[in-house]
Structure 1
């Protein structure tokens, strides 16, 4: 064994967070409650107990959180350490319980406590500690782990600091595949009437020629995106909305049209694709099952990846539902109301079901930037969003994390309103990956 952690108690919560830390430092940390073994071993030693055990150890005094088996209000008062915010202050070589604090953020503990909902009945981001204490823009857990690795190196010269590779994963939500093409005749006819009534002749002729197959569709940005992916050697993920009924927030093209099925098959042949569960599916599991079935019939393979439409999710119900339907990877861990790090991390992690007190097989891939948040929620210009995205890129790259972004096909069109956003995205890729 290379790293041995001593704790008087061994809990499911402790095992979970130590497993996560092991993956982040690329070294297995073995937990023991045997004090004699801990004292006698030649391994790198982490003492996670209330008092010092040996002279040569990294000592972290525990907060009670990892040894509790209930969910209750926690006192999370923030302080500064090495220019970083921290909470769950304690003694030892590190001034706080880094394991409990990381667990609190990673398990989304605060989302199980009573809280305010936003206008879409989602967990409202102003409730979060990260927003209140102004670290939502930081992958704080990754930054803590960087300091943790430095302290292990100072204590034990045999410890090797492992540097993983920074990864960029562009993802796209296809909520509305086409603006005009292949939409119901009545819908387009009403659209033509509206265009005439408002003297929007550009939209009228664009819609008309798209309807009869003689013109391009403004939302058909797929080839342009393909060219970017080839140019910068990117492997994107696409999530398709497949609601059977066009209703409310679900405004997609029918999944039964040849155009929609052809689009999915084309992308499935080149990229990783997943389901974008409709808003309606959040109220009815049978709808989710049907959408997954439709997707499977189109692609000819099991559906294992998802991201919630409008980031509509409630813990633990949404994730349990995904697990029950054989989803193995979820990309919904972020806010639909503001950009930033919802779980304060830029690394994938297994979801911990706090009510059941168990680690699940669902792998969570957190995103930190969605262009729709910048535009609709934060009211940024494309230039301001570019600076925001660049900040996320730079801080994630500094900790060898995973930068996951969300763009929509209808946000990068050549239409006058959206052209600055199209150019912003192309410039970001050129600047960082060209």
Structure 2
């Protein structure tokens, strides 16, 4: 069965903590457990709402293929249901509601990435579990944060049933706008040409005339195709200032070097070229995160070494972690990140399709599906990534299609008070490198500004 700690975390994640009204200045101090997750007759008496377990967590079933949901999925209140039955029933005097839809197991399945643990043999050439193989994609709800939909349905039940009024409860407010916006950029290719190595590449490999190769490699930074930092960081800063310091953040993820072929182009984080990029980032108040090398994505013990190198070079702690090519896919990788001192991971998006990989638009604590233990590592859902939208290997969308998909996901994130995490690379924001990503990114920022002001909230108590 599920531990009490995780059970309470999941219920709180869905509906938020409930507080009893009492006398005195601080009238809401004592918590009230309105929702139980049990089929024990005696324990059921303690709760006005009871969710009946489906058997997903039973020792003899957990971790086996028989726990994987079969398609098509049933619908509970218009939301895809992974486990249990889509029905509810009141007791005779209407003081207790029994919900047979096991939305606790359904939530756990998604936010713990349980499916990926059970299907370890299904990985691409980079060791990633692909979104197109996932249940959310195959069932057609990857674009919906159904965990947040479960929570909204439960909150509505608490209000409409009169339970909040009967027990004089207060629920936390959830505005229909972003809780936070993280504008993140990976410095995978900080420059197109810079230094002697670039000169040799341009001259010997690309067969450019020596003078042209020299000019490309040693001209002013602003003449390099990929030097888009002043442009997009200015856009980012303007938006963050409008959202407010606590709701808008710019992050630059700096990749640590390795000798793996897929960590090319190799650049030295100590180089003056990188220092100049970071000086521009500092001007616009960008925070620094660590992008683990591709090698670390396959040898997790390198994560700690790369963190130590980052701190030695930049004399600060990284604000978060992301893996090169989003290769972090196993629980062991996340545990290694946690033991290496990280408390924020920004890798949680599929490489091949955009959407809600964790089933939610909100940050969630990492639950290890192997051991069913709750950690303090926060997984930040990566909602949109430039390469995923446009790359021929992935979604291969045209500009209008990409904007429609992006608009829908941004609006949905705001609708559920989610944290919007975007990833756009500096090189793709160059019109010379890509025809429309710069235009699309600016359009998304304008939409975020439009939706970023706090909207009216739903009533939370009577």
Report the TM-score when normalising by structure 2: 0.80
After the TM superposition, which of the residue ranges 65-74 and 92-101 deviates more from structure 2?
65-74
| Higher relative strand content | 2
1:306 maps to what in 2?
321
2:69 maps to what in 1?
76
Report the alpha carbon displacement of residue 79 of structure 1 after superposing the two structures with TM.
0.8
SS of residue matched to 1:245: coil
2:455 maps to what in 1?
none
1:102 maps to what in 2?
107
Report the alpha carbon displacement of residue 220 of structure 1 after superposing the two structures with TM.
0.8
Q: Deviations over 1:204-253 (max 9, x none)?
A: 84x54342324611111110112102322242122111214373243242
Contact map agreement 1:49 1:62 (CA 8 A) in 2 = yes
Residues 29, 349 of structure 1: alpha-carbon distance in 2 compared, 3 angstrom cutoff = farther
Number of aligned residues: 406
Residue in structure 1 matching 2:6, options 16, 27, 37: 16
SS of residue matched to 1:236: strand
Measured in 2, the distance between the counterparts of 1:236 and 1:19 equals 29
Residues 187, 42 of structure 1: alpha-carbon distance in 2 compared, 3 angstrom cutoff = closer
Measured in 1, the distance between the counterparts of 2:372 and 2:311 equals 32
Report the alpha carbon displacement of residue 308 of structure 1 after superposing the two structures with TM.
0.6
Q: Deviations over 1:321-367 (max 9, x none)?
A: 11121111101111112111111111111111122231112111111
1:34 maps to what in 2?
none
2:267 maps to what in 1?
253
Aligned runs of 1:322-341 on 2, under 5 Å?
322-341=337-356
Measured in 1, the distance between the counterparts of 2:267 and 2:211 equals 20
After the TM superposition, which of the residue ranges 368-377 and 224-233 deviates more from structure 2?
224-233
Runs of 5+ consecutive residues of structure 1 not aligned to the other structure: 1-8, 31-40
SS of residue matched to 1:301: coil
Measured in 2, the distance between the counterparts of 1:42 and 1:217 equals 58
Contact map agreement 1:244 1:291 (CA 8 A) in 2 = no
2:399 maps to what in 1?
382
Measured in 2, the distance between the counterparts of 1:289 and 1:56 equals 45
Residue in structure 1 matching 2:80, options 61, 79, 85: 85
Measured in 2, the distance between the counterparts of 1:337 and 1:383 equals 19
Cα root mean square deviation, aligned: 2.9
SS of residue matched to 2:376: strand
Contact map agreement 2:322 2:346 (CA 8 A) in 1 = yes
1:431 maps to what in 2?
447
2:416 maps to what in 1?
399
Residues 55, 25 of structure 1: alpha-carbon distance in 2 compared, 3 angstrom cutoff = closer
1:142 maps to what in 2?
148
Aligned runs of 1:56-67 on 2, under 5 Å?
57-67=48-58
Residues 204, 352 of structure 1: alpha-carbon distance in 2 compared, 3 angstrom cutoff = farther
Q: Deviations over 1:166-189 (max 9, x none)?
A: 13221111101111023xx24423
SS of residue matched to 1:85: strand
1:36 maps to what in 2?
none
Measured in 2, the distance between the counterparts of 1:357 and 1:238 equals 33
Q: Which has the higher contact order (CA 8 A, sep 6+)?
A: 2
SS of residue matched to 2:34: strand
Report the alpha carbon displacement of residue 299 of structure 1 after superposing the two structures with TM.
2.3
SS of residue matched to 1:422: helix
Contact map agreement 1:244 1:255 (CA 8 A) in 2 = no
Contact map agreement 2:18 2:170 (CA 8 A) in 1 = no
